[in-house]
Structure 1
Amino acid sequence: MAALIDTHCHLNFTEFDDDRAEMLMRAHQVGVTHLVVPGVSKASWAQQRNFARHYQNWHNAFGLHPYFIAEHQHSDLEQLSIELGKGGAVAVGEIGLDATCEAMDKQRQLLQAQLQIAVDFDLPVILHHRKTLDEILKMVRDSGLTRGVVHAFSGSQQQAEAWVEQGFSLGVGGVITYTRARKTRAAIGALPLHALLLETDSPDMPTCGKQGQRNEPSYITRVFDALCSLRSESPEVVREALWQNSRRLFNLNC
């Protein structure tokens, strides 16, 4: 039986400082064998590399997240290229646009530059969005990128299909465990299975019943069960497809 891969978890965050090894053990015990950890700012990249040396099957991505727009400098883009040049990164991310954050022009400049960096390094991107899905899609199309994942997808089926047509995958997380998320659940249930990835966004985006609690990769089994309830394929087929989708997108040697 194929293992599970959490394709989006911020395990370097301080929320895990007290029990990181135990948390990873819990994930392994439920079949989560590989983890993709996106970077959010220049300050996190060296720390991520250190953790990857210490913990098995920890795969890093590096990027400048719009939440931290105030601390990003344009010189960080040069540092990002230097970091990616060291090798070992599986993606450029987490990058994107967030309409609830300030400095939209600066966000756009940094995103455009990071999309070009991804093209230059032949890497997929991990995209953050909030009220910006359509604008990001236009920027991605203009960049020529055809590989990446829309993290925490929560749009319509029409939007989902446009991203799949662009060659992108959609990150499926805790939102589908909430029955009130009808639009997203319907879209995820109807999309081609080859376009889906599992993710937790740990320590954020808790699943239904875990509101207000720290999220962690072991809870991805709840997302998997919810996904299976929305699909016509057997759980075995879904699990194998998710494994292959994740390996393919991030070029994981597993």
Structure 2
Amino acid sequence: MASSVAQLAGLAVGGAAVAALGTRQALAVGAALHLTAAVAVRLGLPRIDPGSGPSGSVAKAGLRGTAALMSTRCPRRLLLAQWLPGAATAGVEALIVAYAGQRHFAPGTYALLMACVPAGMLTGALVVGRLVRPPVRERLVAPLAAVMGLPLLAFAAGPGAGLSAVLLLCAGTGFAYSLGLQRAFLDAVPAAAQGQAFRLLHSGTMTLQGVGPACFGVLATVAGTGAAMAAAGAATLATACWIATWHTATPS
């Protein structure tokens, strides 16, 4: 929820900066904000002592922990289930401006379409996180993951601006599927390795959110942006079908 709100706020502030200052100056403002955030992290967060030990032991321990998690079936599949749809969604978001340009949408439409996915994520997180009980959330993992992918298939037909906004909003709401995996992931990891597990989950998410746009961007150069966005939906739908083959959302 915090991430979705931050994306929406960033889109709003970024759009205002572009309108007021121009693109080059807005990019400079963005760079300055990154530097400000780096200073805030450096000065505002407490330093954590990694403990005594030989040089490189922390990195080696991290690699050993990652290898152990990825070699165990239940944590590995739970990690992949959270990584893959996010990578596909990031690929779709990266193609929105190109798709809107190819369809000759009005310039203001770009920002609206970019905001639809995080707005859908926020809506889905609020509804599923607040109104749906945990056991039901866990049973809805595969259907909600399918909701992420199914609307994106329609981009193969080249929908207009209004329908595109609805499709992206609906796809964003399906991201709430990840709420149903959180307890299962926590239960699947030994208590001593939970910190390592969540670091791996976060770093893998960030990595694949960079890989996804690269992969679907290459596909877009060959097949077109609409087809690439539909392919991202098909990949997400395939992940949902894989999740549906699990006997239960929690480890046995």
TM-score band by shorter chain is under 0.3
Q: Specify the structure having the higher radius of gyration (Cα).
A: 2
TM-score computed with the length of structure 2 as normaliser: 0.27
Q: Which has the higher helix share?
A: 2
Q: Which has the higher strand share?
A: 1
